[in-house]
Amino acid sequence: MIHKIHISAPAKINLSLRIDDTELPHSLRNGTSLHKLEGVFLKIPLYDEIIVSKSPKKKIEIRYFGKFSKGIPNNSESIVFLAAKKFFQKIRFSEGISIAIEKNIPPSSGLGGASSDAAAVLKSLIELFSEQAQNIEQHHWREICLSLGSDVPFFFSPYTKANVSGHGEICEEISDDDFSGKFISIAMLPKILCNTKWAYGELDAYRSLHKNTAEVINDFELPIFAHFPDLKKLRDDFISLDAKMSALTGSGSAIFAVFTTKEKALQAKKVLEPLCSFWKTVEIKKMPPVLSH
């Protein structure tokens, strides 16, 4: 019998992201405003590390640690707590669990760390309580994912790269061969964080004054760059340093850049990293299994 599972929860970047103003019906979103979207999502090898264990305490306990753990709620406000709570409600079974999360993905970055953690915990619980969960059809888990947030279904899916549409619930696998062997740098600037709810408000406000956002591949770029011009400069600097592409990921505040060689990525790091509060360069390879006992 399995009592503990270790799982790695990857970050993601948005290679494209379009948002419209059609919100998810109240019956599904549990108070969370989810807009209709369309984009290309790519999981990258930057991971939060999670251990989910059965516990005799008969309650859900969450502990965050690591570089980016400060200020993350570990109570009923946590998306991870909600994922666990909804899991036990679905299987109609009560059990104590302990969840330890090492935060390596920075929050308020657009890299999807919290959503990835929630999806990873749900996967772990399905494995830990396989006997109780075995008769639950997959679409019920996907519904839980959607109720938690628009990024969660993609992280719950087995796909490394996908076209994501609807309100996040439609994930269609696409080949990631065009990114295999490429190097992706992710950078954040000091004191610039983008809360998702705030970013949606900025997008709505921007659109009330500017109706056309067709010239960008991430609809959040124009309003976020208007508020934080240094982020636009960082993106432009990446392009000037021979990045194949560079953009805001999600609602920000991280900027990513794609390089065709390690040498080009290292040159960009030499020039730009001193200006940044966070920098990570990863090579895109076939994603390894992320769950182990």
Q: Is 60 exceeded by the pLDDT of residue 139?
A: yes
Q: Which tokens go with 57?
A: 């305490």
Q: Which tokens go with 48?
A: 């939060």
**What are the helix (H) ranges across 210-281?**
221-227, 229-240, 262-272
| β-strand partners of 14 | 41
pLDDT of the residue at 34:
64
| pLDDT tens figures, 244-284 | 999 999 999 999 999 999 999 999 999 999 999 999 999 98
Q: What is the enclosing helix (H) or strand (E) of 126? A: helix 113-128
| pLDDT tens figures, 87-137 | 999 999 888 999 999 999 999 999 999 999 999 999 999 999 999 999 899
What residues have CB less than 8 Å from 76, skipping those under 6 apart?
Answer: 82, 85
**pTM, full prediction:** 0.92
